[in-house]
Structure 1
Amino acid sequence: MTATLPPLLAAAIALLLTACVTPPEASGPTFAEGTAAEGTASAAQAAPAPQLTLNLPTREQCQCQPSPERDQTFLERGYQALSQGDAVVALQHFQRYKRLETAASAQWEADVAIAYLAMLPDSPLYDHDAAEQSHQSLARRLLPDMQVHTMALLMRDSLAAFALLNRHIADLESTNATLKEDLEKREEAIRRLRELTLGQSRGSQP
């Protein structure tokens, strides 16, 4: 004869068996998932933050080159010698400045000074035609961005005035030569007319 269990006890036993057979539901990440998550977090912390790149000009990229400074000692000495009336010494200083300084501004300053000497009658380089030709060449070589000595600009202006005066003198000389030729022709005509008149007067006398 089989013994019958009370209903309450039977229900408790059934509930306990169900709990042992049914696997518990996953309430959180597994060990493998937790390890992977921790590895990802560690890698994220170890990786350096991306750097912000700014397109700023660097010193290597800068194309700006300061103009080389010129030593104007010999140029100043040439100006001083010129103010004292020593054209030969002034020429020597200007030529030395031209040899030592290779900048375009320095070459222009030296050439202006030498051309200026060519228009001075007491200069060993005196040649008014050469001075006028140099002025035309120097006017084309001077660029707006060139920084030149103030005295060189004054010499340039003097050369321009000298060239203009030289052209006026040439025109006057040409006009004077024409007038002189006309005057000589007129005097020759008057002389012949006088001789003709005198000859006729003598021939008409008894």
Structure 2
Amino acid sequence: MTEAYPPRGRVDRERIQRAVREILVAVGEDPEREGLLGTPRRVAEAYEYLFSGLREDPLRHLQVGFMEDYRDLIIVRDIYLASLCEHHLLPFIGRAHVAYAPRGKVVGISKLARLVEGYARRPQLQERLTSQIADALYEGLGSRGSLVIVEADHSCMTMRGVQKPGSVTVTSASRGIYREDGALRSELTDLILRGREI
């Protein structure tokens, strides 16, 4: 039997509410108790927001730019991100550091934060998220190179499983000149992770 999915761009809130109610019953809770009465509705609203990246193309944030003869490094560090791990639907929270070397076109720095957000707001893997941002900056923006580092704390490691709070997962992806030139990549990585003054 084929699963019926809602049309792209729409979230089936009623279906989420029914599912959350079933989860509450399955774990031994009473969904009619006062504290839980509104929980299915609140979860549906939260999921609509947390998965809003499924209904957008994050590359659209890179479409509006400025033609500028600037070819040197642009870095935005410490872009806050919150996403849900697709394996357990538990949050991973951290920050993204994004860098690119333009090829005649730059974008507003707020667009870089929106790009990160667009890819983070969907069921995700940190590794995929890191690659998607790097690809967007390299291919979507047409830059000479991009480098993205994501540092995140995963609830699936801190709340369950091995229960190791304080563990931080670091992923990186490089494209173009930063992939081809190891010394350049190393210098940029050092600048992002350890250097706090440019």
The structure that is helix-richer by fraction is: 1
Q: Tell me whether the two structures share a fold, i.e. TM-score over 0.5.
A: no
The structure that is strand-richer by fraction is: 2
- With normalisation by structure 1, the TM-score equals 0.24
